Amino acid sequence: MKIKGMKKLEKRINRIVKKIDETVKVELAGSDACYPYKKKIFFSILRDYESEKKFMDNLHVTYNDAPHLPIFLYVLLHEIGHINTYEKAYKEEDDNMRQNIMVKGDEEAYFNLPTEKAATAWAVDYVKRNPKKAKNIADEITYAMEKFLAKNITE
């Protein structure tokens, strides 16, 4: 089965992200990731609802005043947050901790890695400082994703 509309979705997501940070480039991928030093984000078109629920639950427990907005927005802002909070010291500390966490599968510990905490804090702060803009961007992302998914859902 051929996936339809990927280039169009990628262009839309890049236009949306430029409203947040003009220096960031987005590429659609199979999982969410970031190369802070390249200012490049990989945004997943494959949704992992269990992991996303855990991410959002952690976000709202840690930041109980964080606005309730779609996961797509928080995922993008979190990845942009990695770029805007990237420091080599965080990265080195993370690398040492990350190996143990991945072996154990401890998501709580993962969310508390210095780079992960900093990126999520940046995302929540962005939403709080820009509530109307964040809501509009969330609506744009949701619309783009729904349109893309509708083209590719087969019965």
Tell me the residue range of the domain where 148 lies.
48-152
pLDDT band, residue 25 (cuts 50/70/90):
very high
Q: Is residue 117 in some structural domain?
A: yes
Q: Is residue 128 in some structural domain?
A: yes
Edge-to-edge strands, sheet with 33-35: 25-29, 40-44, 33-35
φ, ψ (nearest 5 deg) of residue 21 = -150, 110
- Residues 5-28: what's their mean pLDDT? 96
- Residues 13-17: what's their mean pLDDT? 96
Measured distance CA(34)–CA(41) in Å, rounded? 4
What pLDDT, on the 0 to 100 scale, is given for residue 99? Answer: 66
> Which residue intervals of 3-87 are DSSP H helices?
6-18, 49-62, 71-85
Q: Is residue 2 in some structural domain?
A: no
Tally of domains in the chain: 1
What pLDDT, on the 0 to 100 scale, is given for residue 78? Answer: 96
Mean pLDDT of the chain: 88
Kindly give the pairing relationship between strand 40-44 and strand 25-29: parallel
What pLDDT, on the 0 to 100 scale, is given for residue 20? Answer: 96
Q: Is residue 138 in some structural domain?
A: yes
**C-alpha 71: how far from chain center:** 8
What pLDDT, on the 0 to 100 scale, is given for residue 19? Answer: 96
Q: Is residue 100 in some structural domain?
A: yes
Q: CB neighbours (10 Å) of residue 2?
A: 5
- Residues 110-126: what's their mean pLDDT? 92
pLDDT band, residue 46 (cuts 50/70/90):
confident
What pLDDT, on the 0 to 100 scale, is given for residue 154? Answer: 66
- Residues 53-64: what's their mean pLDDT? 94
Q: Is residue 17 in some structural domain?
A: no
Q: Is residue 38 in some structural domain?
A: no
Q: Is pLDDT larger for residue 35 or for residue 3? A: 35
